[in-house]
Amino acid sequence: MRLLVQLVEALSVFLVIFYLYCRSPAFRPLRAEWPRPRGKVRLYLVFTGIAVLGNYLGIPVLDGEAIVNTRAVGATLAGLLGGPLLGLLVGATAGVHRVTALGGAAALAGAVATTLEGLLGGLVHVALRRRPERLMTRAVAFATTFAGEILHMGIVLLLTRPFGQAVEVVRVIGLPMILANPVGAALFMAVLNERQREHDRVAAASSARALKVAERTLGLMARGFGPELAKELADIVKEETGVGAVGVTDTERVLAWAGLGGDHHAPGGPIMSPFTRQSISANAVTFADGVHQSYDCRISPECPLNSVIVVPLQIDGAVVGTVQLFEPRDRRFLNMNRTLGEGIGALLSSQLLVTRYQEQKNLLLQAELKLVHAQVNPHFLFNALTTIMAVTRRDAPRARELLSHLSNFFRKNLKRSGELSTLREELEHVGSYLEIEKARFQHRLVVETDVDASLLDMRLPTFTLQPLIENAIKHGVSAAVGAGTARIRAYRRDGAAVIEIEDDAGAYAERPGGDGLGMKIVDRRIKQLLGPEYGVSVACVPDELTRVTVLLPVEGVRR
């Protein structure tokens, strides 16, 4: 019993040292790091130290021929966490130390046993590595170490000579070591898991704060990056992170400041901090924790700030500014704060990239809208003027009416620069076009319109109907030998709005050239604004009809 108490006391020293290590910056609790070479080296050094310390804190018995020790804890945990090779190396290292530094009749047996205990832990690791929730438990640590110590006693009986001395060694050290080492391994695993859970809780809290910042700045960043939003951004980041101060810069000057030091870190001033300039030039996060490296204000010696994280904001790999998080001298900047800052910077940069993409998409939409304007067949003006000249000779009032329609058509063409219009406006625009075409084709063109009046105020992309109507006339009616009919219908179907442009020529065919480009642009603009389930489709029965269908939500485009 006395040996068991002494062994527990030695084990308590282990636990205190391990606990302090777990609380130190050197501890890396993330399990994802352990399989990597650097992680395995770290585990090897830590658990070899624990195993060797177990030798030194052991209790000599039988005139120094044997040592009651807790060496097995280090070797077994190394195998459980790092695998067979790591467990074998830690066990072998501690075993060699046992033989060379301390000696005794049971030294060789102890060295062999410790090596095999490390290997045993590694084999359990292999068996349970796909189920880490079971591997990283106190029960597994206890059971593996318990089995290892039973194996240890068997090896002592097998290798220690004379056999009578081996039996005596087992009688003296067996019970204390079989009881103390498994309990110690279980307690070590409990400390490790608690530290891991604490790390996970802090990481989750940091992620939640970063996401909260992203949520609150989503609409803000959509306005682009500049002085107008910098102050709002700084206030939001400070409020959500709770740091001492937040600065926002572009690549040359301070745009906004919130928190401590605001009396001398004035917006509009040049960037003075070398950390900020380093972050901009290297496009990388810079970090001064206030312990190993301090933030020294270049503006005021009375500045209370002592540590900083500078996170670059970038678009397509180019730095456009930074967000700086500061803490005062009486508060420590942890590595977790660095992770938080990096997360905020990554999210804000992603939002800026999305904003840039949206700007480019809007520019593309505007360019396509102008292309639709330009797609109005240049021959239309020539044909319209020729038609009006012919009508003038026999019906002057009708000619004036057609001139009014022509003027109205081109006036709307020039003035409709907006992205959206109503169905009513679209019909008025194509109405002028159709009046001129009816005068041109006379009895050969009949236009039928059937529109649900409740859809007239529905908003849709500007110039949706014009290219489709022009295609129906140009490739349908004008190609027919006799009279042709163009139909425009708008109605509700299954909760959606349907617009149909139909001709009875049935002459539609895919054309690799410019023809059909207007229809493709209309389809793409509808999909970009409303989603892939909406757009333009074409159905054709040769020599009978061509029907172009535009599918839209009943509520139209919401803007």
Whether residues 401 and 309 fall in one domain = no
pLDDT of residue 30: 47
Flag whether 208 is in a domain.
no
Percent helix, percent strand, percent coil in the chain, to nearest 5: 60, 15, 25
pLDDT 10s digits, 101-133: 888 889 999 999 999 999 999 999 999 988 877
Flag whether 329 is in a domain.
yes
* pLDDT of residue 217 exceeding 90: no
Query: Which range (224-238, 256-270, 292-306, 544-558) has the least confidence?
Result: 224-238
Number of alpha helices (DSSP H) and beta strands (DSSP E) in the chain: 16, 14
Q: What is the mean pLDDT of residues 382-411?
A: 81
What pTM, to 2 d.p., does this model score?
0.51
Query: Which range (31-35, 90-94, 183-187) has the least confidence?
Result: 31-35
Closest alpha carbon to 182 in 212, 218, 146: 146
- DSSP output for 218-274: HHHHTT-SSHHHHHHHHHHHHHHH--SEEEEE-SSBEEEEEETTTTTS-TTSBP--H
Q: How confident is the model at residue 384 (pLDDT cuts 50, 70, 90)?
A: confident
Whether residues 49 and 190 fall in one domain = yes
* pLDDT of residue 304 exceeding 50: yes
Whether residues 15 and 94 fall in one domain = yes
Whether residues 327 and 394 fall in one domain = no
Residue 328 φ/ψ, nearest 5 degrees: -75, 180
pLDDT of residue 229: 78
Whether residues 297 and 344 fall in one domain = yes
Side-chain-facing half-sphere of 93: CA atoms under 13 Å: 21
| Of 74 and 329, more confident | 74
pLDDT of residue 171: 93
72-89 residues labelled b (16+ CB within 10 A) or e (exposed): bbbbbbbbbbbbbebbbb
Question: How far is the C-alpha of 483 from the C-alpha of 500, rounded, in Å?
Answer: 20
Q: How confident is the model at residue 332 (pLDDT cuts 50, 70, 90)?
A: low
Flag whether 471 is in a domain.
yes
pLDDT of residue 207: 61
Question: How far is the C-alpha of 326 from the C-alpha of 334, rounded, in Å?
Answer: 12
Whether residues 81 and 182 fall in one domain = yes
| Of 211 and 190, more confident | 190
pLDDT of residue 73: 92
C-beta separation of 31 from 132 below 8 A? yes
* pLDDT of residue 147 exceeding 50: yes
Query: Which range (218-222, 398-402, 487-491, 497-501) has the least confidence?
Result: 218-222
Q: Tell me which range, 35-39, 160-164, 190-194, 438-442, is most confidently predicted by mean pLDDT.
A: 160-164
Among residues 330, 357, 384, the one where a domain terminates is 357
Structural domain boundaries, residue 173: 2-201
Whether residues 264 and 186 fall in one domain = no
CATH number reported for the structural domain that contains residue 420 in this entry? 3.30.565.10
Whether residues 310 and 350 fall in one domain = yes
Closest alpha carbon to 460 in 418, 489, 502: 418
Report whether the peptide linkage leading into residue 328 is cis, meaning its omega lies within 30 degrees of zero.
no
* pLDDT of residue 513 exceeding 60: no
Q: How confident is the model at residue 430 (pLDDT cuts 50, 70, 90)?
A: confident
Flag whether 95 is in a domain.
yes
Whether residues 286 and 352 fall in one domain = yes
Among residues 140, 168, 201, the one where a domain terminates is 201
* pLDDT of residue 559 exceeding 60: no
pLDDT of residue 7: 77
* pLDDT of residue 282 exceeding 60: yes
**Domains in the chain, number:** 3
Closest alpha carbon to 67 in 143, 198, 160, 182: 160
β partners of residue 74: none
Query: Which range (72-81, 279-288, 502-511) has the least confidence?
Result: 502-511
* pLDDT of residue 23 exceeding 80: no
Flag whether 559 is in a domain.
no
Q: What is the mean pLDDT of residues 55-69?
A: 89
Question: How far is the C-alpha of 290 from the C-alpha of 305, rounded, in Å?
Answer: 9
Q: What sign for the dihedral angle of Cα 119, 124, 127, 133?
A: negative
Q: Report which secondary-structure segment, H or E, holds 320.
A: strand 318-328
Q: How confident is the model at residue 388 (pLDDT cuts 50, 70, 90)?
A: confident
CATH number reported for the structural domain that contains residue 88 in this entry? 1.10.1760.20
Q: Tell me which range, 126-140, 162-176, 429-443, is most confidently predicted by mean pLDDT.
A: 162-176
Flag whether 305 is in a domain.
yes
CATH number reported for the structural domain that contains residue 283 in this entry? 3.30.450.40
Q: Is beta strand 484-493 parallel, antiparallel or unpaired with respect to 445-451? A: parallel
pLDDT of residue 32: 47
Question: How far is the C-alpha of 84 from the C-alpha of 122, rounded, in Å?
Answer: 4
Q: Return the structure tokens found at 3.
A: 């040996």
Q: How confident is the model at residue 355 (pLDDT cuts 50, 70, 90)?
A: low
Flag whether 218 is in a domain.
no
Whether residues 346 and 383 fall in one domain = no
Whether residues 495 and 404 fall in one domain = yes
- DSSP output for 58-88: -EEETTTTEEE--HHHHHHHHHHHH-HHHHH
pLDDT of residue 433: 84
C-beta separation of 104 from 55 below 8 A? no
364-385 residues labelled b (16+ CB within 10 A) or e (exposed): ebeebbeebeebbeeebeeebe
C-beta separation of 376 from 246 below 8 A? no
Share the mean pLDDT of the chain. Answer: 82
Flag whether 365 is in a domain.
no
**Which ranges constitute the DSSP H helices of 98-161?**
107-128, 132-135, 138-159
| Of 521 and 271, more confident | 271
Whether residues 134 and 241 fall in one domain = no
* Residues sharing a CB contact under 8 Å with residue 168, sequence separation 6 or more, in sequence order: 62
